[in-house]
């Protein structure tokens, strides 16, 4: 999978490159709008991560030019302004998703995975990790032979963690995807933490190896072994 | 006419006064002259009737009349000039307090906003003007104080996480540490970054709110339903503290509001009640219509809020307990956001002491016609109620 990152902020470009390379993507970084447009036009990419505020040729302009040339590579835009106008304009011009800075790298990776998966429905209805199993249809979950008695919210939370197993999920992602809160406010953060503690008590109960891990300052991850 | 608009009030008053006076004097002098003339000629005719020879008297009378005319016409400018000078002095006396007021007001700057104008006599016009200006200064002073407090608080809240991040980074780099220690340091830095991010988000949102650049999507919504939604999502926090979250919401209480924004206001108030109520206490949440208004009240059994804090509790960064740590109390923006969120939806938020201790937070909004989709569905759908 080849990903083009168009970002003028050197440090951010380096971090994003490192993060994507760690996930085994083939990454090309373009430091200017011109360079980004030239590469996106000339080479084949599976995805473009595009900053909107670029010196010279702005992100929106590049996006418009690409779409006019019928280059349909998925584009994820990065913006520091969360005004509705920018977002709508970007999506209208053919961007596939957007993230507002400062975003969590975990979230960027999740969005990229989702964009690359698009068009190929991978709706797995039975999810598994070690001896933890979850059936989306019958809404039953079990750890080994032990059935888990989960509330509706706990079930959704576990399903989300399982669908992202091995990958970090941030509190923002959980607030939006599991609690369907468009904004991450203080109350919801506390709710997430309490809910996670309870879920962990049920899933990682007595003797079983730990599956749900907290990564301090970032979020949570469901994974066998060390986080 | 240019000088007219730039001349001082004193000059203008004097000029107007002199003009009016001259007109009056001209009329008066003309009338006097006509009357005297009439009298003279009548007397002449009288004398002629009695057989006196008036041929010489005729000339005499004409000369006398001419003299009177000269005195009247010549005296006019003199009288006007004298009266004008008097008027000028009077106007100056009357307007002097305004000049004093202006120079007093000029001394009051942003740094000396606590100064007030002296009010020698609060019954006259000048006194009333001074009182109005003083009132304006008082309001300016209080908003300046608020702004100053906000800036101080904001810089404290923004700089503290920065100081923590910097400190952890510097200490972490000072000597070689184990990977676990590095992980711990980085995690701790990220926690501060997270706190800073949320703070900046909230402050930006409040400032967009102040600037009026937030677009709301207001529509009819069922306040009871919204409140139940909020309490059920926060119930888990009350459970952790063994508190009872009792919700008593009347049906069909409809308001026109932006759902997400109002939801945040209710969530912050309920969260606040949970946080500041003792373990195993009850929090009463009530939704009621009445008098064209809808209200959500949240009554807790906490320690209550002192009267002097009741006004400021909704201020940005205000914390009743200054010493409360950031971890426990948040940044002190929850209720400020709640107030903003209620007010942009045309409502008011207030706090009052509860009957049995604790506080009652009350959100009051104008009542709207019930929304389509509530139990009044059938009545409204036929008359073209849209989708909500």
Q: What is the pLDDT of residue B100?
A: 85
The pLDDT tens digits for B234-267 are 999 999 999 999 999 998 899 999 998 999 999 9
Grouping H, G, I as helix, E, B as strand and the rest as coil, residue B282 is strand
Residue of A186, A190, A214, A221 to mutate for B, most B C-beta atoms under 10 A: A186
* Residue ranges in chain B modelled with pLDDT below 50: 328-329, 371, 374-388
Domain ranges of chain A: 2-117, 126-222
Determine contact: A194 vs chain B, CB below 8 A. Answer: yes
Task: Choose the closest CB to B271 out of A83, A186, A195.
Answer: A186
How many CB atoms are located within 10 Å of the residue A8 CB? 18
Q: What are the two backbone dihedrals, phi and then psi, of residue B249, each rounded to the nearest 5 degrees?
A: -115, 125
Determine whether the interchain pair B198/A184 forms a contact, defined as Cβ–Cβ distance below 8 Å.
yes
Mean pLDDT, chain A, integer: 88
Predicted local distance difference test score (pLDDT) of residue B323: 58
Residues 67-106 of A with CB under 8 A from B: 82-84, 102
Judge whether B276 and B302 are in contact, CB under 8 Å.
Answer: yes
Q: What span, in angstroms and rounded, lies between the C-alpha atoms of A183 and B142?
A: 33
A-interface mutation test, from B157, B194, B328, most A Cβ less than 10 A away: B194
Give the CATH number of domain A126-222.
Answer: 1.10.10.10
Instruction: Flag whether residue A195 sits within 8 Å of chain B, measured between CB atoms.
Output: yes
Please write the tens of the pLDDT for every residue from A175-196.
988 998 877 777 888 899 999 9
Q: Report residue A110 as tokens.
A: 């999740």
Inter-chain contact B236–A216, Cβ cutoff 8 Å? no
pLDDT in tens, B143-177: 888 888 888 888 888 898 999 999 999 998 988 88
Inter-chain CB proximity A218 and B330 less than 8 Å? no
**Residue A101 — φ and ψ, nearest 5°?**
-70, 145
A191 and B267 within 8 Å at the Cβ level: the answer is no
Nearest CA to CA, how far is B260 from chain A (Å)? Answer: 8
pLDDT number for residue B379: 38
A43 CA: distance to closest CA in chain B (Å): 36
Q: What is the pLDDT of residue B383?
A: 38
* Contact between chains at A187 and B190 (C-beta distance less than 8 A): no
Would you state the pLDDT for residue B121? 78
What distance in Å separates the CA atoms of residue A32 and residue A46, rounded to the nearest whole number?
A: 20
Taking CB atoms and an 8 Å limit, are A218 and B271 in contact across chains? no
Phi, psi for A142 (deg, rounded to 5): -145, 155
Contact A217 B190 (CB under 8 A): yes
| Cross-strand pairs, A150 | none
Task: Write out pLDDT tens, residues A60-82.
Answer: 889 999 999 998 899 999 988 76
The domain A2-117 is placed in CATH, from the list 3.40.50.300, 3.40.50.2300, 2.60.40.1730, 3.40.1190.20, at: 3.40.50.2300
The rounded percent of chain A whose pLDDT value lies above 70 is 95
């Amino acid at each position: 999978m080849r990903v083009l990152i168009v970002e003028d902020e050197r440090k951010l470009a380096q971090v994003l490159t490192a993060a994507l390379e760690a996930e085994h993507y083939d990454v090309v970084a373009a430091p200017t709008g011109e360079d980004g447009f030239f590469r996106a036009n000339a080479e084949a990419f599976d995805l473009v991560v595009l900053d909107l505020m670029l010196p010279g040729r702005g992100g929106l302009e590049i996006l418009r030019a690409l779409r006019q040339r019928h280059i349909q590579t998925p584009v994820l835009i990065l913006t520091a302004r969360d005004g509705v106008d920018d977002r709508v304009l970007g999506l209208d011009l053919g961007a596939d998703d957007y993230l507002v800075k400062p975003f969590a790298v975990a979230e960027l990776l999740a969005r990229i995975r989702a964009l690359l998966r698009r068009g190929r429905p991978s709706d797995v209805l039975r999810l598994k990790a070690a001896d933890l199993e979850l059936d989306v249809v019958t809404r039953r979950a079990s750890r080994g032979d032990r059935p888990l008695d989960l509330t509706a919210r706990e079930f959704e939370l576990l399903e989300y963690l399982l669908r992202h197993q091995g990958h970090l999920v941030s509190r923002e992602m959980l607030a939006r995807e599991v609690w369907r809160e468009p904004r991450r406010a203080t109350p919801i953060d506390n709710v997430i933490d309490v809910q996670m503690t309870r879920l962990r008590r049920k899933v990682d109960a007595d003797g079983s190896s730990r599956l749900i891990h907290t990564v301090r300052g970032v979020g949570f991850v469901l994974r066998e072994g060390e986080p | 006419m240019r000088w007219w608009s730039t001349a001082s009030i004193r000059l203008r008053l004097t000029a107007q006064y002199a003009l009016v006076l001259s007109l009056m004097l001209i009329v008066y002098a003309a009338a006097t002259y006509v009357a005297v003339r009439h009298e003279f000629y009548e007397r002449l005719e009288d004398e002629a009737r009695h057989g006196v020879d008036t041929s010489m008297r005729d000339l005499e009378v004409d000369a006398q009349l001419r003299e009177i005319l000269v005195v009247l016409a010549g005296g006019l400018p003199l009288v006007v000039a004298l009266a004008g000078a008097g008027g000028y002095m009077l106007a100056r006396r009357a307007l002097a307090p305004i000049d004093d007021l202006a120079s007093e007001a000029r001394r009051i700057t942003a740094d000396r906003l606590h100064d007030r104008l002296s009010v020698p006599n609060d019954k006259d016009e000048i006194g009333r003007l001074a009182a109005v200006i003083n009132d304006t200064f008082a309001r300016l002073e209080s908003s300046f104080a608020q702004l100053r407090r906000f800036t101080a608080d904001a810089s404290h809240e923004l700089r503290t996480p920065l100081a923590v991040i910097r400190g952890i980074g510097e200490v972490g780099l000072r000597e070689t540490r184990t990977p676990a220690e590095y992980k711990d340091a980085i995690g701790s830095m990220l926690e501060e970054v997270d706190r800073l991010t949320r703070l900046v988000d909230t402050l930006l949102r409040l400032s967009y709110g102040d600037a009026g650049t937030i677009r709301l999507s207001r529509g009819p919504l069922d306040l009871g339903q919204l409140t139940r939604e909020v309490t059920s999502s926060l119930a888990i926090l009350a459970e952790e503290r063994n508190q009872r979250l009792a919700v008593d919401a009347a049906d069909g209480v409809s308001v026109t509001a932006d759902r997400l924004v109002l939801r945040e206001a209710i969530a912050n108030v309920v969260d606040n009640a949970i946080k500041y109520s003792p373990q195993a206490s009850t929090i009463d949440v009530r939704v009621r219509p009445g008098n064209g208004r809808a209200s959500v009240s949240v009554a807790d059994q906490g320690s209550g809020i002192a009267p002097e804090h009741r006004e400021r509790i909704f201020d940005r960064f205000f914390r009743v307990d200054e010493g409360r740590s950031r971890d426990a109390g948040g940044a002190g923006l929850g209720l400020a956001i709640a107030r903003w969120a209620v007010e942009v939806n045309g409502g008011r938020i207030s706090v009052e002491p509860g009957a049995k201790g604790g506080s009652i937070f009350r959100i009051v909004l104008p009542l709207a016609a019930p929304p389509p989709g509530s139990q009044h569905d059938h009545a409204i759908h036929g008359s073209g109620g849209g989708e909500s």
